[in-house]
Structure 1
Amino acid sequence: MGRLQGKIAIVTGAASGIGKATVDLFRNEGATVIGADAVKGADILADAGSETAVETLIKNVVAKHGGLDIMFANAGVSGGFASIAEQTAEDWAEILRVNLIGPFLAIKYAAPFIHKRGGGSIICTASVAGLRSGAGGAAYSASKAGVVNLVQTAAQQLSGSNIRVNAICPGLIETGMTKPIYDLARDRGKADRLGELNPMARGGEPIEIAQAALWLASNDSSYVNGSAITVDGGLASSHPTTRRFDIRML
């Protein structure tokens, strides 16, 4: 208890799943936490992919609470498993807007205020799908690969600021985003096969990602910077799946 005592944090995508679990955990560890989401269920309604919304969110939190120490850019959308042949440029634009531009905006507007507090932590939710193919749709995977590179680039550009920028790469976690996968498996009586492709042979829980976020937010990870931490039961060690589409559809 108290690992984040006196810290001020913002968590996006906070209405459910990983975001909600993180808000609860950070508060239990002593932080003042403002949860934001584009849907009801968080402290503040905010579109994580809108520059105006993100800038306003961060400035309002700083004005009300006196500063900012931790920014967790967690909000994201899945975009489904449609193939490259089936997706449109508009599909890609929206997925990239939330999943990649969102973390960029969080870093851009949070970093100056975190620097004023003497440093802190910025965390972005990426995915094992961003490390190699086989764990998500094309647009989703590309957006999450961008997040991994973004935190590396941001860590370098913030050299000397005492701001650490890292990503978490979750595997299969039961959240609102993955609910259709879990529901389908349960309806077919195959719930025991969820997560079977990772060595732990199970899916993960939101709290298991929240615990990783807590570690990255706290001083326990004081020398971790520009990294992408996998929390996936070992899935990223192989990704033994593939999805093909008929090239004649192009």
Structure 2
Amino acid sequence: MGALDGKVAIITGAGSGIGRASALRFAAEGAKLVIGDKSAAVHETAQMVKDAGGEAIAMEIDAGVEADVAAMVATAKESFGGLDVAFANAGIIGDMGGIFDFDPAAWAETLRVNLIGPALMVKHAGKAMVDQGRGGAIVLTASVAGINSGAGPGAYSASKAGVINLAKVAAQQLTGSGVRVNAICPGLTETGMTKPTFDYARAKEVTHKLGQLNPLKRAAQPEELANVALFLASDQASYVNGQAIAVDGGLTSSHPVTRQLLGQTSH
């Protein structure tokens, strides 16, 4: 028995990275999928799912456009008979400006995709789950940048802080429905968004520095985030609700400190 046997799941941002890894993981655990991405690479993900024996419908969508999100939910209901899991994973790095030189229009675009997009998924997928009357699970991709400063530019960080609070607000507003809402907060993970960072590190032969600020001293792979998303989407997390779980190698477990070597003490 797979963790998602008999379940129908939606995943956005499924063309690469965490979304693609989650699509493969969810399908391997028995879920039937409707996957979306702005990139045509989402069709490659669907083919990978099918090649592995799973079922997936690919849609080229904009996760921050209400009609597109509603269409994904409608497709899940029409094609597979319902909806049990929604993973609002799509996101952009967005405006890179500082607090005195940012572009308001670029900030608005970052918020549209990163925050309004997940809110639209809660609105439409949540309503579908409530109407079915059998509960469900909604997972949102936030970020460690939404927990503390220093892990991303201003617009991105603010949008991800909003996602964390959205998970809490939505969990409360869905009281009594059996629909759970949680967020994952990835640390540095090798995805399409972070590709320039990883490419640069490889070119300069400094990959050993990636993730060096966390206690595990490495970056994450998308599959490691997919595993946590799967847990939150499954009945194994039946009593986890309204939470933001950092998957960051321990990065956010501490304030910045001067580290001591093992066995050393200060007096």
TM-score (norm 1): 0.94
Give the whole-Å Cα distance in 2 for the aligned partners of 1:167 and 1:207: 16
1:61 deviates by: 1.8
Contact kept in structure 1, 2:7 and 2:31, CA below 8 Å: yes
Partner residue in 2 for 1:44: 59
Give the whole-Å Cα distance in 1 for the aligned partners of 2:233 and 2:62: 23
Contact kept in structure 2, 1:10 and 1:70, CA below 8 Å: yes
1:80 deviates by: 5.7
Pair 1:171 & 2:181 matched: no
Give the whole-Å Cα distance in 2 for the aligned partners of 1:239 and 1:192: 22
Decide which structure has the larger Cα Rg and report it: 2
Please tell me the root mean square deviation across aligned C-alpha atoms, in Å: 1.3
In the TM superposition, what are the counterparts of 1:16-27 in structure 2 within 5 Å? 16-27=16-27
Q: Deviations over 1:24-64 (max 9, x none)?
A: 00000001011100111211101000011111221122111
Partner residue in 2 for 1:92: 107
Contact kept in structure 1, 2:135 and 2:177, CA below 8 Å: yes
Contact kept in structure 1, 2:184 and 2:246, CA below 8 Å: yes
Contact kept in structure 2, 1:126 and 1:169, CA below 8 Å: yes
Which of the numbers 59, 64, 68 marks the counterpart of 2:79? 64
Which of the numbers 223, 229, 240 marks the counterpart of 2:245? 229
1:223 deviates by: 0.3
Q: Secondary structure at the match of 2:246?
A: strand
Contact kept in structure 1, 2:25 and 2:226, CA below 8 Å: yes
Give the whole-Å Cα distance in 2 for the aligned partners of 1:112 and 1:97: 20
**Structure 1 unaligned runs (5+)?**
242-250
After superposition, the Cα gap between the structure-2 partners of 1:27 and 1:117, relative to the gap in structure 1 and judged at 3 Å, is farther
Match for 1:25: what amino acid?
R
Match for 1:146: what amino acid?
G
Which of the numbers 198, 205, 209 marks the counterpart of 1:189? 205
Partner residue in 1 for 2:155: 139
Give the whole-Å Cα distance in 1 for the aligned partners of 2:256 and 2:18: 25
Q: Deviations over 1:121-162 (max 9, x none)?
A: 000000000001010000000000000000100000000000
Give the whole-Å Cα distance in 2 for the aligned partners of 1:120 and 1:50: 23
Q: Deviations over 1:98-122 (max 9, x none)?
A: 0000000000000121121500100
Q: Secondary structure at the match of 2:116?
A: helix
Q: Secondary structure at the match of 1:72?
A: strand
Match for 1:72: what amino acid?
F
Which of the numbers 111, 122, 131 marks the counterpart of 2:138? 122
Aligned length: 241
Q: Secondary structure at the match of 2:236?
A: helix
After superposition, the Cα gap between the structure-2 partners of 1:149 and 1:111, relative to the gap in structure 1 and judged at 3 Å, is same
Give the whole-Å Cα distance in 1 for the aligned partners of 2:3 and 2:157: 33
1:239 deviates by: 6.1
Give the whole-Å Cα distance in 1 for the aligned partners of 2:64 and 2:73: 13
Identity percentage of aligned residues: 54
Q: Deviations over 1:208-233 (max 9, x none)?
A: 00000010011111000000011000
1:199 deviates by: 0.4
Contact kept in structure 1, 2:95 and 2:107, CA below 8 Å: no
Partner residue in 2 for 1:104: 119
**Structure 2 unaligned runs (5+)?**
43-57, 258-267
Contact kept in structure 2, 1:197 and 1:240, CA below 8 Å: no
Contact kept in structure 1, 2:88 and 2:139, CA below 8 Å: yes
Q: Secondary structure at the match of 1:59?
A: helix
Partner residue in 2 for 1:210: 226
Q: Deviations over 1:74-95 (max 9, x none)?
A: 0000126431223200110000
